[in-house]
Amino acid sequence: MSDATKRTDFILQELMTNGRVLAEDLSQSLQVNSSTIRRDLEKLERQNLLRRVHGGAIPMDSLSYSTYAEDLTFQKNMSKLTDEKNRIAQEALRLIQPGDTLALSPGTTTTHLARHIRRAQIPNLTVVTNAVNIAMELAQVPGLTLTLTGGFLLPDFFALVGPMAEQSLSQMFVAKAFIGVTGISPKYGLTGPNQLEALTHRVTIQRSQQTIVLADHTKLGNVALHTIAPITAIYSLITDSDASPEILAAFEEASVRVTKV
């Protein structure tokens, strides 16, 4: 990863976490001069990833998405294991080709992937999501066709769920579904804490040719309350380098393609 890309990721993460960045603080944290930070912020503003203000920058959507997320579970989880989630998202981006049709589930790692998609601007993508924040991340990407499902809002993770979401998802097919989960186990498969969200995950998986699970090492071996899908429904798993070799071997024995980054 280039130094410029590392700075960009750091700036965007600071925006998500704090709702604002100051150029002076960025210069000190990243150990670069103020003119480099100014050029970085100007570039990100041209990409519609932030809005410059006196002394720094705020998110493009600071009046809605970031402010609303300030105290939610999503915000707390977004600040955890950011390096690992970012590496997982970068690896997932490599699987996306021009013209692909994708589904992105709600979640923090899939949000990182949405940001990478936004920056990469891969031609002729179609993205389906039941996550309001992911739709906002991708709303202004040139050449990207975006579908947001209807449904009942679970505000903790901006997830649209329930019969309307399931019906919307069941009307479409996608080539690749990128799924974030609370638990993934070789024995019990994919599981989650919320029944409604588990059901929308299930429909998304059923309507995709390939299901790619994005899960950091803390999710591996976990079993939550509600079943989403058996491990046989999964095409591949992307996780981080702290994952246990033993549990990864168990996934591979279950015919899951495992990538560790």
Strands (E), the chain: 21-22, 51-53, 56-58, 101-104, 126-129, 145-148, 152-154, 159-161, 174-179, 183-185, 189-192, 208-214, 226-229, 236-239, 257-260
Question: Which of 138, 167, 133, 134 is CA-nearest to residue 150?
Answer: 167
pLDDT of residue 15: 80
CA 243 → CA 97, 108, 261, distances in Å? 27, 18, 10
CA 55 → CA 14, 21, 107, distances in Å? 15, 8, 31
Largest CA distance in the chain: 55
Section 216-221 average pLDDT:
95
How many angstroms separate the CA atoms of 106 and 9, rounded? 20
How many angstroms separate the CA atoms of 102 and 174, rounded? 5
Tokens of 174: 């996608």
Question: Which of 31, 28, 78, 65 is CA-nearest to residue 153?
Answer: 65
pLDDT of residue 108: 92
Please tell me the least confidently modeled range out of 62-66, 97-101, 153-157: 62-66
Section 143-150 average pLDDT:
95
Section 17-41 average pLDDT:
90
pLDDT higher than 50, residue 63: no
Q: Which residue has the tokens 């100051």?
A: 22
Domains 3-68 and 73-260 share a fold: no
Query: What is the 3-class SS of 155-167, one letter each residue?
Result: HHHCEEECHHHHH
Section 114-138 average pLDDT:
94
Section 170-191 average pLDDT:
96
CATH architecture label of 3-68: Orthogonal Bundle (1.10)
pLDDT of residue 46: 86
* Beta carbons within 10 angstroms of residue 216's beta carbon: 21
Helix 82-93, helix 108-120: angle, nearest 10: 50
Share of the chain above pLDDT 70, in %: 92
- What is the layout of strands, in order, in the sheet containing 21-22? 21-22, 56-58, 51-53
pLDDT higher than 80, residue 187: yes
Question: Which of 119, 117, 118, 110 is CA-nearest to residue 74?
Answer: 110
Q: Which CATH number fits domain 73-260: 1.10.357.10, 2.60.40.10, 3.30.300.250, 3.40.50.1360?
A: 3.40.50.1360
pLDDT higher than 70, residue 11: yes
* Beta carbons within 10 angstroms of residue 68's beta carbon: 17
| Domain range summary for the chain, segments of one domain joined by + | 3-68, 73-260
Q: Which residue has the tokens 């309001």?
A: 132
Measure CA 257 to chain center.
Answer: 20
Confidence of residue 73 (pLDDT cuts 50, 70, 90): low
Section 106-124 average pLDDT:
93
pLDDT higher than 70, residue 1: no
Section 214-219 average pLDDT:
96
